[in-house]
Amino acid sequence: MPIDRRSLILSLGAAVGASLLPRGAGSVGAPTLFAGCLFDADGGGRLALFDPDGRQLVASDLPARGHDVAVSPDGRLVVAFARRPGTWAAVIERASGRVLTTILAAPERHFYGHGVFSPDGRLLMATENDTRGGDGLVGLYDVADGFRRLGEVPSCGVGPHDMTLMPGGELVAVANGGIRTHPETGRDMLNLDAMRPNLALLRRDGRLADAFELPEAFRLSSLRHIAVAPDGTVGFGCQYAGDAEAAPELVGVVTRAGRLELLPVPEDANMLFENYIGSVAFDASGTILAAASPKGGAVGYWDVPGRRFLGMSRLTDACGLAAAPASGLFMLSGGASGLRLARAETGDLARLGGSDAGRWMWDNHLLTL
């Protein structure tokens, strides 16, 4: 039975308060906020911060379309990264929405649209490409020194895309999609015959701690997006670059014990993903994994401990995913479809309003602040 927006909002309960202090600021009852990039019909970009009812609280103009965002540990700064192969990242003051500085990619480098702060907030790390040889890199930026570029370390793969901190902050997980590209040829895939996607775990000094590859039969599944649960389980989503009729499983996990497993999904449901996962996220409990396909207009949900497929939601151009404050709920964005609250157990979607977001289209990712 469909669920109305008000009842779904109310199910968030006391997790949503009246204060707008950043998470971790020490205020009891501070609410959950979300961040995401928007764009208009002319390609103009914006970063929006909004509440669980979809009300925009802060908006910042971007140089062009953004992709994903990173938030500093103290909650003061939000960084919006350009879509690949982008050459800028905008550093924004969360409270005011003011753009403090714009980071420019180093010569013969470009961003892949994702990054993360170090646990102490001193470094910003961003996935990058060496356009000369196609090697994957993680660029390192000094926050206190105006985000000056300090250098880079190998991502230990080709085509790094998403990245996230592991619990404890000692390791950084990087999704190396395995696909070599070059700005002169846009998003053309230049090395399908040699693709080796992996999930790399990097130590704080940049050394490789571990790497996980998909089975040989899934070599053309570009491992692009990842999310980590509080217990250290990493969820991932792939984009398959092979025969469209093959329809391999696209969603899986790397367990705390170091096992890479693809999650079960019924064949008819898997076909709806159209070989493309654009984002993944764990819910607030860290036990339910969601994966969205903008090409298929579909979102799938899994009970990870039970290795059980829960079902699907349908939304045109569905892609942005973030954990809502209550277990089993997700914030979901869908291109021109706006914002929804999604309930994993039933697949019900509740449309959110309360802002001018309807004039804008949502880009690929959302972040829970």
Identify the top-confidence range among 2-6, 276-280, 338-342, 360-364: 276-280
Summary mean pLDDT of the chain? 89
Exposure class string for 41-60: b at 16+ Cβ within 10 A, else e: eeeebbbbbbbbbbebebbb
Q: Is the CB of residue 75 less than 8 Å from the CB of residue 35?
A: no
Q: Tokens representing 37?
A: 């990039």
Q: What is the dihedral of CA 133, 248, 309, 54, to 10 degrees?
A: 50
Residue 66: predicted pLDDT: 96
Taking only the tens place, the pLDDT of each residue in 247-296 is 999 999 999 999 999 999 999 999 999 999 999 999 999 999 999 999 99
pTM for the structure as a whole? 0.90
Helices (H) then strands (E): counts for the chain: 2, 28
With a cut of 70, say whether residue 16 has pLDDT above it.
no
The CATH fold of domain 228-369: Methylamine Dehydrogenase; Chain H (2.130.10)
* In the chain, where the domains are located: 63-213, 228-369
pLDDT mean over 3-14: 38
CA pair distance 214, 224, nearest whole angstrom: 12
Taking only the tens place, the pLDDT of each residue in 203-250 is 988 999 999 999 999 999 999 999 999 999 999 999 999 888 889 999
Taking only the tens place, the pLDDT of each residue in 29-43 is 456 899 999 998 887
pLDDT mean over 305-309: 98
With a cut of 70, say whether residue 11 has pLDDT above it.
no
Residue 27: predicted pLDDT: 33
The CATH fold of domain 63-213: Methylamine Dehydrogenase; Chain H (2.130.10)
pLDDT mean over 51-63: 92
CA pair distance 92, 124, nearest whole angstrom: 13
Query: Would the CA dihedral through 323, 201, 94, 64 be positive or negative?
Result: negative
Taking only the tens place, the pLDDT of each residue in 65-113 is 999 999 999 999 999 999 978 999 999 999 999 999 999 999 999 999 9
Element (H, E) at 56: strand 56-62
Which percentage of the chain shows pLDDT scores above 90? 76
Question: What confidence category does residue 13 fall into, taking pLDDT thresholds of 50, 70 and 90?
Answer: very low
Q: Tokens representing 199?
A: 């999930």
Residue 194: predicted pLDDT: 77
Geometric angle at alpha carbon 238, from 237 and 240, rounded to 5°: 160
Tell me, yes or no, if the two domains 63-213 and 228-369 fold the same way.
yes
